[in-house]
Each structure stands twice: as structure tokens, then as C-alpha cells.
Structure 1
């Protein structure tokens, strides 16, 4: 069994608890939060701590620590965990600052530990099917891609905690909501060369943007369009990823980018297409993405290999988002190094 500990027992920690409980060869060993009231969970066998350092020093049996604290605290906690020689799963975004994300990778590498970033949308059945087709070259020369997040996060959502919507601890719609879709866009299309963008805080009383739009050029020459908003009334409308090439057009959409809306691929018959669409419709979410992340880390530790979603993968969308925000602030096209 691989023993897991969770630090930060806010809302997202519940997904980690459920994922660990369902994953093969994984055991929830301990939890940690500076607020003792958050340590009340159903499992009586789990050890409880209010200090991360104490938890690690007293329990060498812990193999992996899941970092679920506000985003602005990821870097210092990663340093503590890495220096104690434990592997790390960190929630998205990896960090709110590029140099801090790079420091996190440095801490992991220097201490010989594995670091995985939670980008669970990669494991959705429709996305997996799309990735298979792209890896097989089914699209030919790529034309462009589109990532859209039209969601509702009302003022009550941001008022739940003082850190929500802040530049120091949370980030805006790009870092907090759209980052999953930007991860998918980069995973499918490859790295970005340059970006031109606009962003605004239109409806929510927060420090960060609640709506943003950007046009990117990938290093392979293809273009991309990004639209992200938490201002949609009255509820989530759409999350989608679309890829267009000389021999294929695919759009995966729905409120959570789970259903195949368009699947036109050269050489794939209408019957085959309908079969694929129906398979996805019957099980659109598949195995929960957090569970996939946990099970992959278990195997990565046992097999001494990198996790599927590495720290480098976590850095890439952070870098893109910061370039989008820089372009929005300066009004100029930004080239990514």
C-alpha cells in the first residue's frame, strides 16, 4: 500500500479523500489543516495534524502528500514536503507565479521525489479518444483550436473565503477555471509561440479577471482562440475544446466538456462515428480524474517512473496564462520564451 496524506482540508480535499479510498493500493494515512474544525472526517483511522512539519516528521510511513491549500501557498508547502523526501500531488494551478512553479520542480528534483499536478480532464473518455486520434495523425496539418469556458461563479462563490478571487492566493478565471482547458489545448496542440489577449473584471467584486479572450499562435504554426468567463447568467453554459485540421474536425462540449458534439474524421464511417459518440454518451466521465491521478502516482512510485501529468506539464499552462495577462495589461503581443 502507498500511504497518502492531505494538507489543506477545504472543498477540494473531499475529491482527494474519495479518490484515495477508491484507488487500488492507496491508503489515506493522515490529514492536516491549520483549522482543527476541518479535521473532522468519517474515517477514524486517519491521523490528524495542524502542523505539516510535525505530521511528516512523526510519520515516515507517509509516501505521498496531496497539497490542497490555496494556490498561493503551494510553493512553500512543496518545499517542506520535498525536503522530507515525500512525493507530491499538487492541485491546479501549480503556482500563481512562473518562478515559483519552477522552484517547485527544483525542490522535487533536488530531493529525488516525484511531483504530479492535478489536471484530471485529460482522463475523460472523450478527451482520451481525441488524443488517440491526434497522436495517430488523423488531423493532418493542424489549422486551429478553440477552448471555451462559459461558466457561472456568482459573488457568493467568491465571498465563501477571503482568499478567493485574490491575486496572491487564487487567481482569476484563467488560473482557477480555464486552466484545465488550457492544459488540454497545450497537451493536444503543443507549445505556444505567442499570444495577444484582453481581460477584464466586469461583474464580480474581485481583484482578478472574471472574463478573458486571447488568440494564440502555436509553435507548429496553428492558431488558437481562448474564451473564459465566470460571468455567465444564470448557470454554467459550456465548456468545450475543438480541434480543426485538414482531415478532421472534432468538438467536445457540454457543460463540462464531456460529450462529442462533432466527430468528422477522414476515413471514419458514419456508423463508426455514431458508435464512438454513443459509447461516450453512456459513460461521459469514466473513472474520476482525481482517482486516475492517485492510481498513476501509486504506479509511478512502485515502478520508479514519472507520473503522467508531470511538474513540467503543470508549468506550461501557468506560463501561458501569465503571458495572456501580460498581453492584456500591456495591449501588446507577448512571445513566450
Structure 2
């Protein structure tokens, strides 16, 4: 495992266990919409001793009042453009991604030094470009809430693959949650987690070929819903995509409506000649190892072995590892460290743009009848927007 990541994870655990008051607290403003703060991006800061929530923004007066009461604060704004009045160090943005671009631009100009943003990142590459440019202009660090990227087990999984624990890596296979949102909505909401992890483990995408279907038939321009402000133009309840990654291995992503098992969750598998590593997003343990070649029949039983931050089949050395990751505590601490160390967070705005580019590539390939498209893409808008 990467020593720096292990030390950081252990330090995070110790920081949470300590009751000592920090010398300085980071001022946090949380931004919501009609009471929505994503996956607890408002209350997460109550678990980080080095921060204090000083204000909240929400255009819904009743929802804002309830938020102020829950967070035990008094300063609230109906318009998120006013958050500069609270002099924030950090801004947490939780609403759906249709509002992300405008909210991030306001947060970047507010004097804040860091932004913690709910995923998915934004609706298209043009918005991603604007967000990154604004953060660079104002010297702001942005962390995207793909919380599993801060999991201490993840760097170990990467090292295991690089050292040949599963033999030669043949491919990555990812699936979404595949519930009622199966297809493109699943790719945006949950598949963005899977794509982000795939890039971390196999390098950036080089090309993509994909098809999108609706009830078993290829999506046509007539099937496109252009009235979804939260996603932009969207269509299809079935997605089949292949990405060729920088490492030389293919990464497949599939999602079919109502094909998933809620007990299993969603994630990806790294398939090698001598074994498989399975990653289940938001689960504890995060990963499991299955030895042996999956293509070779075997009469002997094989058992999935948990992978901890210490290794395959070893006891977990990081206290309450699942709680730290799921509560976004690890992400918050890394965002603060990235500001202090003048580096990018482990899951940054640039990482978010790569994920948006991969989803855009799926649509671009489908519009071109499944033809392979190369990265970087030559378009910045959603390919369905002007498809006729």
C-alpha cells in the first residue's frame, strides 16, 4: 500500500478520536436547494473537529429554517450568491448537478479556499471547463464527493494489481445499481462512481464505443428527453460501453433497468489470469479477492477473501474505516490538507471532468452508430442536444 495514503488514513482516524480543540476552525457554508444537501453534505462537517458551520443557503424559506435549526446556526441566505457575506473558508454544495455550475462559480468567487461538491460533477464538458477555470482563477481547491476515492483500501488494490496478485490484468467490468434508473440515469448517478474508480485503477480512457437502448431497441432522436434540467438531454434504460484505457486493458460498463440486486450493490471487478478483485462501492469491506483463473473449470471450492487496508485476509488496521469514508470525513480532511499543502484533492475537479467526458463519449459513440470515439473529445456539449 502507498505509505503516504496509509499514514493519512491512520492520521484521520486519530484526528477523529482526539477531543482536543484545533487551534483554528475552518468556516463552512453549506448550500442546498429545497432542503436537499445530497448525501449529508450539510451535516458531515459536524463530524470534523477542525471545522465549524457558520451559515446555510436555500431558496425555500421553510427548508432553510429547518436546516438552521438542525445545524444549530443562525445565519441563512435565500440566495447562494450572498454566501460571501459569511466569509467562508469552505463551501459544501449538495443539490442536483443541474445547479452545480452556477453554484460553484458563486462559491469560487466568495473568497472560499475550498469547495466540496456532490457528485455527479456537472452536465457537460462546457460546464466542467467553466468550473475548472473559475477555481484556477480564484485559487480554490475543489473536491468531488466520490467518497470511495478516499478509502485507504483502494491504493492497496492498485498496488496488488500492479504487483501481479491477480496475474495479468485482462479487463475491468463495471455495473451500476441497475434499479428503476437503469441505463443512462444509472450511468450518471452511480456509474460516475464506477468510472472514477476505473480511471484510478487503469489510467485515463483513450477511446470509447457504446450503444444505448430503450426497452431493447436502439435509442433514436425521438426517444430523447430534453426537459431534464438536472441531467441535460437523456435517453435510454440500457447502456453497453467499452473504454480502452491507458494501461492497455479494456474497461466495460453496463447498466440495464431492473437487472440489479439491491443486496449486491454496484461496483466493478478487475479480472486477471490468476484471480479477481471485486470492489463494491460504499460497502465494508470495500474489496474482496478470489484466487484462480475464472476461465478454467475447477472442482475445488474457492472463497472470496476480504481485502483490508493492510492486505488480503488481514485484520483492518484503520478504526471505523467504513464510517470515515461514508460520512465524507476522509474527503473533508483531504480537502483541507490539499489547501494547506497547495496540491489537488485526491478526487479533484479535473478528475470530475474525466468522468463527464467518459459519459459524454458514451452518447457520442451511440449517436455515431456505435463508432469508436477518441479522447480528448472534440465536443463540449451533450451529444443528444442537437441530435436529429
Please give the range of the TM-score, normalised by the shorter of the 2 chains.
Answer: 0.7 to 0.9
Task: Answer yes or no: is the 8 Å Cα contact 1:196–1:328 preserved in 2.
Answer: yes
- Counterpart Cα distance in 1 of 2:252 and 2:72: 48
- Counterpart Cα distance in 2 of 1:113 and 1:255: 28
> Aligned-pair distance for 1:208?
3.2
Q: Matches of residues 1-337 of structure 1 in structure 2 within 5 Å?
A: 1-9=25-33, 10-13=35-38, 15-39=40-64, 40-41=66-67, 42-56=70-84, 58-60=85-87, 62-86=88-112, 87-124=114-151, 126-134=153-161, 138=165, 141-153=168-180, 172-202=185-215, 207-232=234-259, 235=262, 237-245=264-272, 248-253=275-280, 258-264=285-291, 276-277=312-313, 279=315, 285-289=322-326, 290-331=328-369, 332-337=371-376
Task: Answer yes or no: is the 8 Å Cα contact 1:151–1:238 preserved in 2.
Answer: no
Deviations 1:200-243 (A, max 9, x none): 34399964333211112112321121112443378465413111
Deviations 1:81-119 (A, max 9, x none): 212231212211211111210111110001111111111
> Aligned-pair distance for 1:320?
0.6
Task: Answer yes or no: is the 8 Å Cα contact 1:192–1:336 preserved in 2.
Answer: yes
TM-score scaled by length of structure 2: 0.71
Structure 2: gaps (5+ residues): 1-24, 217-222, 226-233, 294-301, 377-388
- Counterpart Cα distance in 2 of 1:115 and 1:259: 25
Task: Answer yes or no: is the 8 Å Cα contact 1:173–1:209 preserved in 2.
Answer: no
> Aligned-pair distance for 1:80?
1.6
SS in 2 for 1:285: helix
> Aligned-pair distance for 1:146?
0.9
Stretch moving more, 124-133 or 300-309: 124-133
TM-score scaled by length of structure 1: 0.81
- Counterpart Cα distance in 1 of 2:281 and 2:192: 17
Please give the root-mean-square deviation of Cα atoms over the aligned residues, in Å.
Answer: 3.4
